[in-house]
Structure 1
């Protein structure tokens, strides 16, 4: 049996701003179709609005195109140096463009740069045909990959995100977050494209500006992808390495805005989400395995007051104002001797009435048994204390 020791263990982490939760109203809900702030490392959604609804993804779809091509390269089915000859069908693809012309020959690597830097729809189509033989076969790969990643609200009809009649690529904002996180984790070199402000291809007399905003404007922002069609509105997936920001946090955020009215609003709201995340969230060691979180009196021990330590640390990105409570359960009948590392109880971390994690409590030093005389004296003292307490009651 165990007894609950509740008193004196309500240790709180008090950091004074405001308490935040993932359903907070940030005041921009009427200016977007959806938004999200997410923690890259844990995959936790920190702040969000309307993230489950499938939305027109526009060129944000190219993130999946990039992933499928990179996976094919990793699996040896494709090589970055493979040459692709531009066909009339590729040249005819509309919208944002790498200005590919029939008969030109580019490498897969060059087409990936055109895909990610200038968001070339023609580059997407060329990569799709090279990878799978046809765009239809490629979109089958895109949808299969979406199922593999459990992107439950994603459906792809082409590699670029262009609308085709009644058909259009759709993704939920939550799916976009999962996909972006997966790509950065698996292929971190994707962030290298964001460093390219102007894509120059001198041999084909092409110069194109990057479509990725905020890079260089906000310290630490290093990606990732834009999207736009008349129906989808203006969309942007951004990511920031907070270690390179003035706030200097040890985390990476991914922010998403979907369906803003224009480019300037897209940038404005993306900046807002980034700054909100940096200002209101921070990495915290909520449980430290090097610090005692409880103490128990063991009368049979040489030193009766025995500190107890958690077996593991717990460090998370959390609202700076969030308060945590620690509650321990100590095993009944503890007696010396107790060996180093022996489990003597558990500690539960909770916040706002919800249990978050439970870890074992151990001793970090041998608890040696006191000699017989000391134990007898302590037993007598405890008996008198108990009697005195009963008299006072």
Structure 2
């Protein structure tokens, strides 16, 4: 009986290892997680450090608002004025209490949406950008696909339950990582409280937005000291959801959690997963944006330096040696007859790290090069100069022309002498 039990437990352990996707080897065991869909990502390199049902679709609830904020920030200015329409004040769920006809700035609405998870403000922003929830949802979905989020469909800006409004832990980690590029998103997400001085409630009491991020505010039982910013979510259909970024010792991690049933276990596991990531991984910067990584020989006497278009990081496990080899692969193109400006994209390249495809990037021109008539003539000469047959033909033609001119001139001279002698003329 004991042998049978031992074999069963061993088999169960092996199956657990097989079905749990940890993308980098030689790390300590991941903590117990409440959420069904989980991704832990290196915020610098974009590498997935841990995943669980990463590409299974779940409802995102209010973490939808991270994607909403991205679309709004890309299509508006913070000081744009928004007049509240009929529908936003009537929205279900959490709200800040905006009223029809009131005028808010984009920034004021974003603050309430990200801090209080205000659905009324999310809908007001959507109407301002696209005219309706449905059209804004299409814009969100399209933009998410451009970010590489191929398993997400957004139907509304708030995350309220709606048939087909789905995402994945992998997609939400990508979305959160991209949101870090927006200074205004980071700043607003980290506000503790904000008073709407010009917009008190109808009874005259002060209107405030207070940060509800359970792992960010220090009065919460789930406070995590390394948390940088994040967004919570919950609906009866989605259960608890969460997406966040943590920073420690110049390391940046992004985590997403979908479909967690128990709130206490969910938010306790956030700090545990981030700590696990910080303890077991670190990122190495391979290239700075603008580094020269090669040269393009555009002519015999001219070469153009090739520059990286972005910072590139690589993730190592904590005990892994930094023996890193890199190479760039790209299809050759002929720019010999082109004018080029510094910063122009010359090649779409693949970075090879330790013999394996790692990421794609653009290689940019490191200088200006004007294609002039003089260069065109030089290129033509150089082009034909490399072909011995053509050179031989040209030389034969030139020699033949010289011989023809010489013979023709001799004949003319003889004829002139003949006429002069015959008629005794002084020619």
Q: 1:81 to 1:278 in 2, by over 3 A?
A: same
Taking the TM superposition and a 5 Å limit, the aligned residue runs for 1:1-393 are: 21-22=23-24, 26-29=30-33, 31-73=34-76, 79-164=77-162, 167-185=163-181, 187-203=182-198, 204=200, 205-215=206-216, 216=218, 217-242=223-248, 248=249, 250-283=250-283, 316-322=314-320
Larger CA Rg, structure 1 vs 2 = 2
Over residues 367-391 of structure 1, what are the superposed CA-to-partner deviations in whole Å (9 max), with x where a residue is unaligned? xxxxxxxxxxxxxxxxxxxxxxxxx
Contact 1:115 1:123 (C-alpha < 8 Å) held by counterparts: yes
More helix by share: 2
Residue-by-residue CA offset, 1:31-86 (whole Å, 9 max, x unaligned): 2211111111111101111101111011111111111111112xxxxx32222222
TM-score computed with the length of structure 2 as normaliser? 0.59
Q: Distance in 2 between matches of 1:156 and 1:230?
A: 18
Q: Decide whether the 8 Å contact of 2:126 with 2:132 is kept in 1.
A: yes
Do the aligned partners of residues 349 and 113 (structure 1) sit closer, same or farther apart at CA in structure 2, a change above 3 Å counting? closer
Distance in 1 (alpha carbons) for counterparts of 2:73 and 2:89: 23
CA distance in 2, matches of 1:237, 1:270: 9
Distance 1:149 1:284 in 2: 23
Q: CA deviation at 1:141?
A: 1.0
CA contact (8 A) 1:256 1:270 kept: no
User: Quick one: distance in 1 between partners of 2:142 and 2:230?
Assistant: 23
What is the Cα deviation at residue 324 of structure 1?
6.7
5+ residue gaps, structure 2 = 1-21, 201-205, 288-311, 326-351, 359-427
Deviations 1:159-216 (A, max 9, x none): 111013xx1421111111111111212x133111232222321332212321212225
Unmatched segments (≥5 aa) in structure 1: 1-19, 74-78, 243-247, 288-313, 328-347, 358-393
Q: How many residues align?
A: 277
SS in 2 for 1:170: coil
Q: Do the aligned partners of 1:324 and 1:349 also contact (CA within 8 Å) in 2? A: no
For 2:131 and 2:356, locate their aligned partners in 1 and report how far apart those are by CA, in whole Å: 52
Equivalent-residue separation in structure 2 for 1:284 and 1:222 (angstroms): 21
CA root-mean-square deviation: 2.9
Greater relative CO, 1 or 2 (CA 8 Å, sep 6+): 1
